[in-house]
Structure 1
Amino acid sequence: MKRYRSLDDIFEEDDELGLLADIRPRRSNTSSPEGRNAEIVVEVNDFYEAHGRLPDESGATIEEMKLGTIWRSIRSEPSETMVAADRNRLLGYGRPFVSSAVDGTTATKSREPSWRDDPDEVDVPLSLDDIFDEDDDDIPEAMIGMRHVTPAAEREKPAHRADMIPCADFGVFEQGFVDMQAKLDAGEREASPVEDRQELRPKEGDFMIHRGLLAYVAEITEHTRRGGKPDHRLRIIFSNGMESDPLMSSLRKALWADRTARAIHRPGLGPLDPDWNADALQLTGTIYVARSKSERPEIKEVRNILHKIGVTSQDVKRRVADAKNDPTFLLADVEIVATYELRNLSRMKIEDLLHRFFDVARPSGLTITDRFGKKVFPREWFYVLPDHIAEAVRLIEAGTLHLYRYDTSVQQIIRLE
């Protein structure tokens, strides 16, 4: 079979059937590349005079797209023939061109610069300093000013990291780890892998395996919001004598990333089953009374009578370290007014007892809106004086709190009749 090197070879063949009669290309009077480029320059000048602009390689018609593409490829290195054919001086990148006016005189027109034109070398900045040193006094402030953006210094930044630290009261947990390991070895407890993106909801008293260590969920703080989503801060004790206090959302991510992570199932059929809490440790803790340092007017004006009553099993200073980012602390730092150590008393029971005792003094409309627009209803704040809280603690130690009630009308703890 005969091989053809170009279209010209095909069209030079005898067309016995007349198939190419209507599609033979027009022969150009100019065969050299320089001559064809000059013809393109003439076509571009015709287009410019008809439309007042250069042909766009992204134009609406195929003819304009083709002409614009070819023009862009040849205009950077014009030859003398091309310059001679450029009657509007379009190869001059914005220089005026001369055309005949109606009265026979010449008129000078200026071509609007295009974003497709190559910039002059003097206009190209060599560094960022060249850009910022330019005098742009006419730039409106609205174009460069930033609005509705939280400054970096005010963004939600934890005051402490959930690092591993030595557990000061590890003796309280040590036997629990020994017992749980024995139950696992004997097959009395089942451990299942933590699947990726599994929705984990740890509860106080849960055991798990994380980083190759037994871990115990000692405390879950009250409901809060972080990043616009519900969350809690946890106290996790590890079998190597260390502890950490991550957010529940952070713990989930850490468990998903840990291929050795395991969830240890509790005994029984559910919270109502007597065996459900068989593995849970009875922890004591510290009652703390906190006063807000918030500058919000509605909080600042009642600061001296509005107090948070909390109970924690961990160090109180660590518990309140991130108060300014925690809606349960009214998104502000707090001052610790008083603390009371619990002895042989359940932390959760004491906290519930105090909150129910002072429930009549709980603010009904106290809400906090986080920076994502979500409302939080803190439940541990009360209109009560520190002296009254101290008196309630003394009655708990004496086992006689049930004989008294808090009267908001006189702001006193009075004996039931």
Structure 2
Amino acid sequence: MPRLTLDEILDEPDEFGLLDVRLKPRGTRPPELERDAGLVREVNDFYDRHGRLPNEDAFDHDEMRLGTIWSGLAGRADPDVFKDVDRNGLLAKGPADAPPASRGWRDDPLEDEIPDSLDDIFDEDDGDVSEAFTRIKNVTPVAERHLPDHRAEFFPCPDFDVFQPAFEELQAELEAGMREATAVGSREVIDVQEGGYFIRNGLLAYIAEKAEMTARGGKRDLRLRVIFSNGTESDPLISSFRKALAADPTARIIHRPGIGPLDPDWEADQLDLTGTIYVARSRSDEPAIAEVRDILLKIGVTTQDVQRRVADARNDPTFLLAPVDIVATYELKNLSRRKVENLLHRFFDAARPRDLWIKDRFGKRIYPREWFYVLPDHVSQAVAAIRNGTLHELRYDVGSQKILRRM
């Protein structure tokens, strides 16, 4: 097929109007005055908004800039040249018609404005400072920072009989050369995980529990439960535990069996601990939390004493950064803490508030995962079903707020 000529292409119907080009009419001003025309438009816009010309001594930087440039243009510009953009006729009025300028920050103070003493300054009626400039927000008072709610101390381990056989077995493996213990490097990043063993101050230390995120002194951290081979335990922050290891020249990291996390023997020595189920109610003053306080409960499981677990709640995002009241506790026997916790959280997942969040001290949103819109009786029924092995036959219905039997 022969190609069309340019004339044939231009003779075809212009369906989309591509050739309908309309040139803008050339302005009556020379190009060098277009910048001044833009300034005239800007000043007219300012005049429409404020009903006056911009003040070159204004405190507002944009108004000061516009007023300074305008004062120079108004004295030399020809009103006829900018008639099409000067819709308010501001150039025809001239600078003399502008409203009188108020005193600005460039002007020296008047004699009667200079105070004679500090008393004169403090007696000024208009010297009040807004509370927004003097009240500190989201900062823990110094007195509270020096008096923490919770101190990591050494105290007798009430269930040491659970850990003692594991300590004896580990000691035998170390003496036989079956387990390796290496010194802590000066700049080594110590990986502290549940089930891990360390040597601190000559004692074997077992990480029994690593709790949820907390925040002390504006920094995020984790609370540990550490069991020692002499029958004591402590619950330091993970940062404090790392510092203690780094400061101890005799500290050692005991490597786990196996070659890595994918090795079946990697967690062979991790104890499957039982614990206590606790149900907590927040005492937060936040309106979004306070108005649903009676039906918003935290369901958690811990291996340590429940009161110690919640002692630092006001610094713990998991507890909504507020103290809590313990509503109920349930002791577990021969049941894995982790498995029970996962079962309860999956069972009540439909009642988990999807829009519940708080801001931590960094301004970052945190979405707590252990809070549910349930009643204490619902948790009690679910715990009873776990104990007798029938939880899989039940489900929680959000609409009726009842535990129903699966069909």
After TM superposition, is the score higher than 0.5?
yes
Cross-structure match for 1:385: 375
Residue type of the alignment partner of 2:296:
L
Contact 1:213 1:239 in 2 (8 A): yes
Report the number of matched residues. 284
Deviation at 1:272, TM superposition (A): 3.2
Cross-structure match for 2:291: 301
For the residues of structure 1 that align with 2:280 and 2:346, how far apart are their CA atoms?
18
Residue type of the alignment partner of 2:338:
M
1:193 counterpart = 2:176: no
Contact 1:225 1:376 in 2 (8 A): no
SS of the residue 2:289 aligns to? helix
1:138 equivalent among 121, 124, 130: 121
1:399 equivalent among 386, 389, 393: 389
1:265 counterpart = 2:248: no
For the residues of structure 2 that align with 1:400 and 1:163, how far apart are their CA atoms?
40
Deviation at 1:228, TM superposition (A): 4.5
Q: How does 1:18-417 map to 2 (within 5 A)?
A: 138=121, 146-148=134-136, 150=139, 151-153=141-143, 155=145, 158-417=148-407
For the residues of structure 2 that align with 1:198 and 1:375, how far apart are their CA atoms?
31
SS of the residue 2:298 aligns to? strand
Aligned CA RMSD, in angstroms, stands at 2.3
TM-score of the pair, normalised by structure 1: 0.64
TM-score of the pair, normalised by structure 2: 0.66
Deviation at 1:397, TM superposition (A): 0.5
Contact 2:274 2:336 in 1 (8 A): yes
Work out which of the two has the higher radius of gyration on C-alpha atoms and give 1 or 2.
1
For the residues of structure 2 that align with 1:264 and 1:202, how far apart are their CA atoms?
11
Deviation at 1:227, TM superposition (A): 4.3
CA deviation profile, 1:192-249 (whole Å, cap 9, x unmatched) = 1111232222111111101111000000112344444442110001111111101111
For the residues of structure 2 that align with 1:328 and 1:137, how far apart are their CA atoms?
52
Q: Which runs of 5+ in 2 are unaligned?
A: 1-116
Cross-structure match for 2:84: none
Contact 1:228 1:373 in 2 (8 A): no
Contact 2:214 2:315 in 1 (8 A): no
Are residues 190 and 141 of structure 1, via their aligned partners in 2, closer, same or farther at CA, if it must alter by over 3 Å? farther
Percent identity of the aligned residues?
A: 63
SS of the residue 2:199 aligns to? strand
Contact 2:348 2:372 in 1 (8 A): yes
CA deviation profile, 1:114-161 (whole Å, cap 9, x unmatched) = xxxxxxxxxxxxxxxxxxxx975636776xx85436443565853021
Residue type of the alignment partner of 2:136:
H
Deviation at 1:391, TM superposition (A): 0.3
For the residues of structure 1 that align with 2:262 and 2:190, how far apart are their CA atoms?
20
Deviation at 1:321, TM superposition (A): 0.6
For the residues of structure 2 that align with 1:288 and 1:156, how far apart are their CA atoms?
29
